[in-house]
Amino acid sequence: MINVVRARWVLPIEPWQVVHDGAVAFDDDGILAVGPAQDVLADYPEATVETFDNHALMPGMVNAHTHAAMTLLRGYGDDLPLMSWLNDRIWPTESRWVDPGFVADGTRLAAAEMLAGGVTCFSDMYFFPQAAIEVAQRYGIRIMSGQVVVDGRTTYARDAAEHIEKGLAVIETHKNTPRVHFALAPHAPYTVSDDVFGQLVELCERLDVPMHTHVHETQAEVEQGLDEYGVRPLARLDRLGVVGPRLIAAHAVHLTDDEIALLGRRGAALVHCPVSNLKLASGIARLTQWLGAGIRAGLGTDGAASNNRLDVFGDMRVAAMLAKGTSGDAAAVAAPVALHLATMGSAAAMGLDQQIGSLSRGKSVDMIAVDLSGFELAPIYDVGSHLVNSAGRENVTDVWVDGNRCKRDGELTRDDPSELAALARSWQQRIG
């Protein structure tokens, strides 16, 4: 069966264009055509047509760095300096509470929040990934499941070897599951030894998956790395063979010009997490320089404990305005660049740009409709800049992932909002 979704505006994102009265045709195998509604309807006269008179149709937002289950710790320890936030609040709470039930419920809350807000795919890094994958399957969101590795004991595994072993088992179990992608995810240079990084480089090669990790999030981390290893963490990772096209480095707030150039040369990907970086006082990553160096750059919310919204629309706007404000150039990260960052950019950073990230023939139907008819959004002179600067996740009414409808006319199709809130409250009572 062929479906056509027709909308007042269609933004394929790559190539950049705004099709007025556009349409997307698709079947079970993916997108068949994108273009002016007249042409698409003529090519597919038998299609079932759905029309969105007030909407912009665009690829789903891709959240390239998060810890989904941490929704259960949303706002738990706000306004604390980073180290007391981690040492006094987050880490003790995680060691007390994190188990498959926590991950299932927290990821469910995250999946609902992200789908409702137009996020169709997320790159996750958390314990008990099997539980997160099952939730993603059930609620329909696309996941890149990062198999977390820490050099030490967590509630998930007793040491690096067991983290790796469990991760490999998860990958084996789900290697053919639709809408599930994988990464190996050593937590960070300061929690993973050289040996383990070395093993993971080989495993990534063998399994043909990316390596998702935190890099240079804070100045303290860089200094600690210098103290301990005599070189900055990125240099150490480079020596270990980590810095290449498989690397997805989240945060990267503190990079020298040379480090940016190196990452560009090596073909590595970076994930910008502007809201988390501001809120935890980590600093402001140099997005315009990244883009200038040709780095594959994506956008991530980070976990809800440090954001506190899994809101890629909002973070896209912050990314764009921060780039302007810190570069002194109001034309920096213009709307087409910001929208690209949050969709194709993230997809490319995750190595998924052949499958998602734009509306184009052969890609998966990961797509959202954004209602721009509200008076808060009027008038509309430029729909692209409107999507960045005026609209928000609250304007997303319809969401498709892999052709399945996950939100319809403002309502989640696969979950019950009141159940979700109750679920979160029950954890709040236990944890709080």
According to CB under 8 A, which residues from 331 to 360 bind a copy of itself? 331-332, 334-335
- Asked if 407 interacts with a copy of itself (CB under 8 A), we say no
Q: Cβ(251)–Cβ(215) under 8 Å?
A: yes
Q: Cβ(111)–Cβ(68) under 8 Å?
A: yes
Residue whose CB is less far from a copy of itself, 231 or 421 = 421
Residue 64's nearest CA partner among 254, 278, 310, 282 is: 310
Q: Cβ(116)–Cβ(407) under 8 Å?
A: yes
Reading the block at residue 375, the tokens are 């008076």
* Helix 194-207 and helix 160-174, axial crossing angle in degrees, nearest 10: 10
Query: Candidates 96-104, 158-166, 313-321, 362-370 — which segment interacts with a copy of itself by CB under 8 A?
Result: 313-321
According to CB under 8 A, which residues from 96 to 155 bind a copy of itself? 109, 112-113, 116-117
Minimal distance, residue 387 CB to a copy of itself, in Å: 10
**How far apart, in Å, are the Cα atoms of 216 and each of 237, 239, 267, 346?**
11, 16, 18, 19
Residue whose CB is less far from a copy of itself, 318 or 352 = 318
3-state secondary structure of 322: helix
Give residue 140's Cα distance to chain centre: 15
Give residue 423's Cα distance to chain centre: 24
The rounded distance, in Å, linking the Cα atoms of 399 and 381 is 25
- Asked if 80 interacts with a copy of itself (CB under 8 A), we say yes
Sheet holding 247-251, edge to edge: 61-66, 119-126, 142-149, 180-186, 211-215, 247-251, 269-272, 296-299
Contacts for 40 with CB less than 8 Å, ≥ 6 apart: 4, 6, 22, 23, 24, 25, 33, 34
Selected from 8, 74, 163, 272, the binder of a copy of itself by CB under 8 A is 74
Residue whose CB is less far from a copy of itself, 81 or 294 = 81
- Asked if 411 interacts with a copy of itself (CB under 8 A), we say no
3-state secondary structure of 357: coil
Selected from 374, 409, 410, 411, the binder of a copy of itself by CB under 8 A is 374
- Percentages helix, strand, coil for the chain (3-state, rounded to 5) are 45, 25, 35
Query: Candidates 163-171, 175-183, 262-270, 369-377 — which segment interacts with a copy of itself by CB under 8 A?
Result: 369-377
Minimal distance, residue 88 CB to a copy of itself, in Å: 13
Neighbouring-strand partners of residue 125 = 146
Reading the block at residue 385, the tokens are 């800049």
- Asked if 281 interacts with a copy of itself (CB under 8 A), we say yes
- Asked if 420 interacts with a copy of itself (CB under 8 A), we say yes
Query: Candidates 67-75, 138-146, 156-164, 197-205 — which segment interacts with a copy of itself by CB under 8 A?
Result: 67-75
Residue whose CB is less far from a copy of itself, 176 or 429 = 429
- Please give the full DSSP string across 307-359, using - where no structure is assigned: SS---HHHHHHHHHHHHHHHHT-TTTT-HHHHHHIIIIIHHHHTT-TTTSSS-
Selected from 153, 373, 409, 410, the binder of a copy of itself by CB under 8 A is 373
Reading the block at residue 331, the tokens are 């034309």
Selected from 193, 289, 390, 404, the binder of a copy of itself by CB under 8 A is 390
3-state secondary structure of 429: helix
- Asked if 207 interacts with a copy of itself (CB under 8 A), we say no
Residue 272's nearest CA partner among 211, 319, 336 is: 319
Selected from 2, 394, 404, 414, the binder of a copy of itself by CB under 8 A is 394
Query: Candidates 15-23, 139-147, 190-198, 415-423 — which segment interacts with a copy of itself by CB under 8 A?
Result: 415-423
Q: Binding string, 259-278, against a copy of itself, x = CB under 8 A? A: ----------------x-xx
Residue whose CB is less far from a copy of itself, 82 or 207 = 82
* Size of residue set near a copy of itself by CB under 8 A: 70
- Asked if 1 interacts with a copy of itself (CB under 8 A), we say no
Count CA within 13 A, CB hemisphere, residue 347: 24
Residue whose CB is less far from a copy of itself, 216 or 246 = 216
Query: Does residue 189 have a cis peptide bond before it, meaning omega lies within 30 degrees of 0?
Result: no
Residue whose CB is less far from a copy of itself, 18 or 278 = 278
- Asked if 81 interacts with a copy of itself (CB under 8 A), we say yes
Query: Candidates 3-11, 128-136, 161-169, 281-289 — which segment interacts with a copy of itself by CB under 8 A?
Result: 281-289
Residue whose CB is less far from a copy of itself, 260 or 332 = 332
Catalog residues that contact a copy of itself under the rule CB under 8 A: 71-72, 74-82, 85, 109, 112-113, 116-117, 275, 277-284, 307-309, 314, 318, 321-322, 324-332, 334-335, 373-382, 385-386, 388-390, 392, 394, 417, 420-421, 424-425, 427-428, 431-432
